[in-house]
Chains A and B, each alone.
Chain A
Amino acid sequence: MKKFISFSLIFLLCATFPFASANDVPPLISDEAGHLTSSEETKLQEKLQGIYDTYGVYAIVFTEEEMSGISAEDSAEDFYNYFFSGKDCIILYIADYDREYALSAFGKKGKDAFSDDELADVEDAILPHLKKDNFSDAIFAFTDEAENILDVYTNGSTGYKIAVISIAIILPFIIALIAMLVQLSKMKTAVKQHYATNYIRPGSMNISRSLNLFLYSVITKKPRPKPSNSSSGSSNSRSGKF
């Protein structure tokens, strides 16, 4: 009996988290809702493993058919605490019956790489697919976007690199040109005077009228920049309905 229980427990774990017990790698995919075909799942698994190998951050896909009485964000967090506690992760959680999703980043590097702006970018990438119920497209869009963001986070964006390099090359020539023009101006000292300030009779300035007439006022207001959600919490996350 004991044997049966433990066996069925293992079986259950295998079914739910197919990779949890297969080897020591925690489950990067937990597709309980069954949105992915097995070939898609193999492909996704390779991609997610590649992301971890390259950037040291786990990208994780967790789907459920129905939410289990807690919020989407809490579901993602439970999953994290159970399998990945203390590690750097970005989790996509989708519950298709409730049409809710959550994007949560954990760990120092995970939260650094996926701040509010980056999570919003990921959200923009997946939402159009989710709205059309193209779940596998949404999952792959999540993977691609997460990979892009990690690449920019690790290597800097190419636009940024090009900007830094071109400034580093052009700036010295501008500096040299200005320095040269300054030196060159010392070669010609015969220049006209534009003012006669030397010749003002001391104390001769006499102001007979000095009026400051107030005309009108204009008041403009703009919203105060909100203090950004600092990553002091356990996660950065975004969630919503689709």
Chain B
Amino acid sequence: MDTIQNYKCPCCGAPLVFDAGSQGLHCESCENKFDLDTIRQLDDAERLSGEESKFDWESYTPRDFTPVNGVDFSNYSCPSCGAEISGDDTMGSTICPYCGNSTIVKGQFEGVLRPDYIIPFKIDKKTAIAAFEADFKKRPFLPDLFRDKKKISEMAGVYVPFWMFDCDCNANLTYRANRTHIWSDSDYIYTKTDFYKLLRSGSLGFENIPVDASKKADDAYMEAIEPFDYSDAMDFGSAYLSGFLADKYDVSVEESILRANARVRNSTLAAFLETTAGFQNVCAERDNISFNNSKIRYSLLPVWMLNIKYMDKMYKFAVNGQTGKVVGEYPVDKKKKWKFFAKVAGISLAVTLAIAYFML
């Protein structure tokens, strides 16, 4: 059996020695015995999971996108934030949906690019405003003066460009884990801890992960208004754009893919971790995740945007134009915040002092 490689003890790292008597491997340092087959599988899995994670670019071919023709669009650029957006001429005065600036100017640049598909606006402006006002009421420390009917009416509907990713994710993972058994006799409590190495390999498919393709749209907002319902996705038709603004991508596929991969990776790790149920102290040791069969599509998704200025600061809000989900960052009334703190602290102080009185 001189073909045996130099395997290392999974327990202490010392070299393992072949023991002809038991036909197994033996560690002279920690005196554990291992099955040859177990060690071979372990070695194999560790080699796989130790490889570098990679994204398979071969299945992705860069594409060109053509401008939408035959529609009377005006193109505007915002001198304040630099956004370049398009809208049909029926819209009259326009405010920049990304920064709230009202002095946007007509510009000469290429307009909307034809997407692979579009999810049309499902809720109108009135419904979106109602959704925002309902959301508003749920926020605890909102300044009383923040509410501004006129500003709220400036909510604008924008088709925001997204890259949609599909991919299969292949994962090779190893975990350290243990199981404990506790029993006792009349004198002692015994704890037996069995140490395991868990090997998992498999794949998981993802579909339609949206990644914001506009630099001006805040990634956090665009991820927070998820999810969209893709059963409403349509082949693109320019009629969907009338009455709304539209943006075009200025974040490359290559940049966006990193964001999608980070989320795919986290979800894959979480999904595989669930397969280790029944073990304790599961600790991921190595992971190798690669992406293949990737497909990337370009789409326009409907978002209502709103900017409200309060105390010299612009507060941004976004409403999912399909589901009505509201996200944003509200201003905080410091007085209300500390009043709340004082109230909670006061009530709990009364309770804890009463308890302390009975304990002493």
Name A's B-contacting residues (CB within 8 A).
Answer: 156, 161, 164-165, 167-169, 171-173, 175-177, 179-180, 183-184, 186-201, 204-224
Contact = CB atoms under 8 A, between A and B. Distances in A.
A176 B347 CA distance: 9
B169 to A, nearest CB: 9
A191 B224 contact: yes
Given A161-B360, A180-B341, A197 B270 contact: yes
B202 A196 contact: no
Interface stretch (B80-88, B117-125, B138-146, B233-241): B138-146
Contacts of A218: 192-193, 195
Contacts of A199: 206-209, 267
Given A190-B316, A205-B204, A211-B199, A171 B329 contact: no
Given A172-B352, A215-B32, 7 more contacts: A167-B356, A172-B347, A184-B141, A187-B139, A210-B200, A213-B198, A215-B10
B55 interface: no
B199 A168 contact: no
Given A193-B226, A221-B191, A204 B32 contact: no
A176 B196 contact: no
22 contacts: A169-B349, A176-B348, A179-B341, A186-B138, A187-B140, A187-B141, A187-B142, A189-B328, A191-B220, A194-B263, A196-B264, A196-B266, A197-B270, A204-B204, A204-B205, A207-B201, A210-B201, A212-B199, A215-B10, A215-B196, A217-B192, A218-B195
Contact of A176 (B204, B331, B345): B345
Nearest to B330: A187
Interface in B139-166: 139-142
A180 B184 contact: no
Contacts, number: 215
Interface in B32-75: 32, 34, 38, 41-42, 45
Nearest to B337: A180
Interface in B328-354: 328-332, 337, 340-342, 344-349, 351-353
A29 B327 CA distance: 81
A196 B263 contact: yes
A200 B269 CA distance: 13
B1 interface: no
Contact of A215 (B197, B203, B331): B197
Interface of B: 10-11, 30, 32, 34, 38, 41-42, 45, 138-142, 168, 177, 184, 186-209, 218-221, 223-224, 226-227, 260, 262-264, 266-267, 270-271, 275, 279, 316, 318, 326-332, 337, 340-342, 344-349, 351-353, 355-356, 359-360
Contacts of B221: 190
A180 B360 contact: no
Nearest to B177: A212
A198 B168 CA distance: 15
B292 to A, nearest CB: 13
A199 B347 CA distance: 45
B345 A221 contact: no
Contact of A220 (B190, B328, B332): B190
A177 to B, nearest CB: 7
B195 A217 contact: yes
A177 B195 CA distance: 41
A221 B267 contact: no
A40 B95 CA distance: 98
Nearest to A209: B201
Given A187-B332, A195-B267, A211 B41 contact: yes
Given A186-B140, A212-B196, A218-B195, A205 B207 contact: no
A47 B109 CA distance: 101
Given A200-B267, A221-B188, A176 B141 contact: no
A211 to B, nearest CB: 4
Contact of B271 (A194, A200, A215): A200
A173 B209 CA distance: 42
A172 B355 CA distance: 12
Contacts of B184: 224
A169, A184, A200 — most chain B CB neighbours (10 Å): A200
B41 A213 contact: yes
Contacts of B205: 200-201, 204
A220 B168 CA distance: 45
Contacts of A193: 223-224, 226, 263
A168 B223 CA distance: 42
Nearest to B357: A168
Contacts of A190: 218, 220-221, 224, 316, 318, 327-329
